[in-house]
Structure 1
Amino acid sequence: MARHFSETEVIATLEGLDPARLHAFVAAHVVSPVVTPQGHAFSEADLARLQLLCDLSEVYDLPDDSLAMVMSLIDQLNTARGDMRALIQAVATEPDEVRGRIQKTVRRLRVVTLSRDD
């Protein structure tokens, strides 16, 4: 079972995070803790996300709505990377002939896409 951290533990663990900032991140829906009878509970992934949020807000001085947009883009990129990994694994299971056709098609499409960008 995954470990969860209380608000107090999260604030003590993450540099640059105070109760007001944590509550602002939760209110902005850029982190979604589990709600328990004891309060919010944060996963290890939430901690990593909160650290990134603290770093982004300190380095770039981004407001909460901009942080939400940046995190949404990061989430989309991570989803696309996962999809790409799965696609690569699926293609790897195909026969050589099929993989060869896919490679040729990808190269052709990349050339078409690059020529459109010019």
Structure 2
Amino acid sequence: MTERFSEDEVVTTVTRLTRSQLVRYIEGRFVRPEREAGGYVFRRIDIARLELLCDLSVDLDLDEPALEIVLSLIDQLHAARQDLATIAQAMNRLPAERQAEILSALKRR
């Protein structure tokens, strides 16, 4: 199973995606594939994002300004989840007493 996809493979894989939509999504920076001599190269995460873009634009009939807002919010949510996972990992390395102090402080909020 390949981890890198050409433009043709992406349009074939993401069945609701047209080549013109793909170009618009790249130009609008909704998806940011790598650029190589033969053209753009996409990763699995790019394909997942393109599937989401199709869901939002086709199923929910969102235009490009609305897509920009929704994707920004989704990106912020993913970043917050990554930050929380990093904090949880750091907390797990602390002694049990410090963990208890932090959890107690959080509960007081």
Q: Quote the Cα distance in structure 2 between the aligned partners of 1:72 and 1:12.
A: 26
User: Which of structure 1's runs of 4+ aligned residues deviate more than 4 A?
Assistant: none
Q: Quote the Cα distance in structure 1 between the aligned partners of 2:18 and 2:31.
A: 15
Residue equivalent to 1:100:
100
Q: Quote the Cα distance in structure 2 between the aligned partners of 1:86 and 1:17.
A: 35
Kindly provide the amino acid, as one letter, of the partner of residue 98 in structure 2.
V
Deviations 1:58-107 (A, max 9, x none): 11111112112211111111111011011111111211211111011101
Residue equivalent to 2:75:
75
Equivalent pairs: percent with the same residue?
38
Residue equivalent to 1:21:
21
* Aligned-residue offset at 1:3: 2.7
Aligned residue runs from structure 1 range 1-118, under 5 A:
3-109=3-109
Q: Quote the Cα distance in structure 2 between the aligned partners of 1:65 and 1:7.
A: 24
Residue ranges of structure 2 left out of the alignment (5+ in a row):
none
| Pair member with larger Rg | 1
Q: Is the 8 A contact 1:7 1:41 kept in 2?
A: yes
Query: How many equivalent residue pairs?
Result: 108
Residue ranges of structure 1 left out of the alignment (5+ in a row):
110-118
Q: Is the 8 A contact 1:10 1:42 kept in 2?
A: yes
The structure with the largest helix share of the pair is: 1
State the TM-score, normalized to the length of structure 1. 0.86
State the TM-score, normalized to the length of structure 2. 0.92
Other structure's SS at 2:41 match: strand
